[in-house]
Amino acid sequence: MFERFTTAARDVVISAQHEREEFGHPLVGTEHLLLGMLNEGSGGAYAVLRRAGLTRIRVREDVQKALRQGPLGDADAEALKAIGIDLDEVRAKVEETFGPGALHLPPVPRRGFFQKEGRFSPRAKKVLELSLREAIRLHHGYIGPEHILLGLIREGEGLAAKILVGQGINLNELRDQAEAELKTARDVS
Amino acid sequence: MATAASSADPRVGLRAALALRRLADSLEALQVVNARRLGWSWQEIADALEVTKQAVHKKHAPRMRED
């Protein structure tokens, strides 16, 4: 499905894979794609996201935070403290051996799809499919990082979209920005 | 200061029990994955957890169908 991807768009995907590896997550999710776009090399999408006030560090923090709000959140930590268990300490011990985010109940994967390490999560796959659809809608014969961003906005329900909204970004405005960026790039070239 | 374990307020005590179960589930999931990676059989894992092989397999196998 990557035939029409520009070099910059491919770099977003490659960079997303690296992010997944660094987090030690099994699948490439929308959040990793978003981090992939926050690479300077990813051209238009990078410019749009930076103008919206987003940084890689901030998104990484939000991803970590979202992980901690899993099945073992702050309310659990408080309840455990009351019976003499320090969840932070337990987590630290576990992470010493198994890496960050290890003490987190992983979701049971749906049978037969996507569970192989390094594959795309269903939502991330949807984002990539939608990026193609966005390119078709705009009559573009290629898929750039901006189209991936448009796909991510259209999908709208992944962790990446939640992080964007949590950062106070209006997704409709971001879409307009991304489309404007594409238009400028085409007018110049 | 009363602790949750001895608290007369069921809300506090039950919430602690829930959190403890979540912690136990997380730890179990993590350890089962690790044991499988190290080549443990489902029977060995079941013995260590003091449950039946069927129970542990049903609970954890969907997480690691790639193994």
Confidence (pLDDT) at B46: 96
Least Cα distance to A139 among A182, A172, A174 occurs for: A182
Expressed as residue numbers, the domain containing B58 is 10-64
pLDDT band at A181 (very low <50, low <70, confident <90, very high): very high
| Domains assigned to chain A | 7-69+118-188 (1.10.1780.10), 71-104 (no CATH)
Count of domains for chain B:
1
> Looking at beta carbons, which residues of chain B come within 8 Å of A87?
19, 23
> Looking at beta carbons, which residues of chain A come within 8 Å of B26?
71-72, 103-105
In this structure, is residue B3 part of a structural domain? Answer: no
CA distance B52 to chain A (A): 20
Query: What integer is the mean pLDDT of A12-37?
Result: 90
In this structure, is residue B54 part of a structural domain? Answer: yes
For residues A149 and A30, the answer to whether their CB atoms sit within 8 Å is no
**A107 DSSP 8-state letter:** P
Token pair of A38 as six digits: 């926050």
SS3 A70: coil
ipTM for the complex shown: 0.78
Confidence (pLDDT) at B60: 87
Least Cα distance to A4 among A140, A114, A155, A104 occurs for: A140
Confidence (pLDDT) at A125: 95
- pLDDT tens digits along B14-28: 888 988 988 998 899
Report chain A's C-alpha Rg in angstroms: 18
What pTM was estimated for this model as a whole?
A: 0.63
In this structure, is residue B1 part of a structural domain? Answer: no
Please tell me the distance from the alpha carbon of residue A12 to that of residue A145, in angstroms, as a whole number. 7
Least Cα distance to A140 among A184, A188, A182 occurs for: A182
